[in-house]
Amino acid sequence: MNILKLYIFISILFISSLNAVDYTKKPKVREFMHTMQYRYGFKKKILEKWFKNVRKRSYIRRLRQGLYCGAVPCGSLGSWGRYSYRYLRRAGGGVYFMHKFHDTLSRAYKKYGVEPEYIVATIGIESEYGVMRGDYFVFDRLVHLSFDKNDRRARFYRKQLKALLRLSAREDINPKDIRGSSSGAIGLAQFIPSTYKAFAVDFNKDGKKQMNNVVDAIGSIAYYFKRHGWRKGQDIAVRVKYEGLRFDKLPTGYRHTYYRKNLEGIEPREDFNYHGKVSLIKLEKRGYDELWYGGKNFYVITRYNQSSYYAMSVHQLAQKIKRAYKRRYGEF
């Protein structure tokens, strides 16, 4: 029996060695380890242990199926339908999350002025309220991105790797156990490691800024939006009318802004209590383009993810959550 256990143990070590890469022989890695040791106090033996056993495959394999939008494949829809379908179905989970963390969301709203439904929608899209926090082992993924390619992005990823190790030291966790996205984003809020340093807050006052703590995630998202210019109570976006089925009269997207008086033939479909310059957000659907005005807060959402489709998904999911919450529980 003991011989059998020894054989299994040796087999596991052998298989693990086949799936691991020793990065300590790379000059840039040795330089990085030297910096982490002498500037930030990491122990040489621990660094060597981590960098000698980097997984070849940082991706965590999962069984995936083709995505269907109702009864049809999403590929048969326009680009907006393909992008938004899986996100806008998350309103039910958002209502439950909003009710469960009502007090924390209220506190964040009072402190930072960010409406609760937008915090909830962001967590819903980023991590499905904490259920899906990423398909990669972040340390291994960042090592590959930092040292396998000699391109302009490598420096950015080395910065993220350094921030990840310092974050793991502060939170007293093994960086090899952290899971996240293909770009190294982690936790409910899916902050990249360097973002934690600037924008994460200790909202539950336990002395730590924890990436997987719901209370800290809520406070951190609210603080992030506030720091980027969120304006409390201001309308965010509204669908507008225009002539025709496809819109190509003017440049669209959050980078282009216009005075509304100069947008002849484009009118809101409902009240839009916003008086600054607006962007025109085009959602490409099968057979026609849906056009929206986006205000300052819409732009703020794009600071989280620089995509008009992302910001519109947050906005529409937030509004769905707000309406469903009101039907079930009344005003927040």
Cα separation, 286 vs 81, whole angstroms: 8
Crossing angle between the packed helical segments 138-147 and 152-171, to the nearest 10 degrees: 150
Question: What's the rounded Cα separation, in Å, for the pair 2 and 8?
Answer: 10
Positions marked catalytic: 126
CA 226 to chain centre: 17
pLDDT of residue 19: 76
Global pTM value: 0.88
Query: What tokens were used for 277?
Result: 């310059």
pLDDT of residue 61: 55
Determine the residue type at 160.
Q
Give pLDDT tens digits for 188-223: 999 999 998 899 999 999 998 887 899 999 999 999
114-131: pLDDT as tens digits: 999 999 999 999 999 999
Residue 186: strand pairing partners: 180, 191
Strands (E), 140-252: 179-180, 237-241
In which residue ranges of the chain is pLDDT below 70? 1-18, 61-77
CA neighbor of 314 nearest in space, from 291, 289, 297: 297
220: nearest Cα among 300, 112, 328, 315: 112
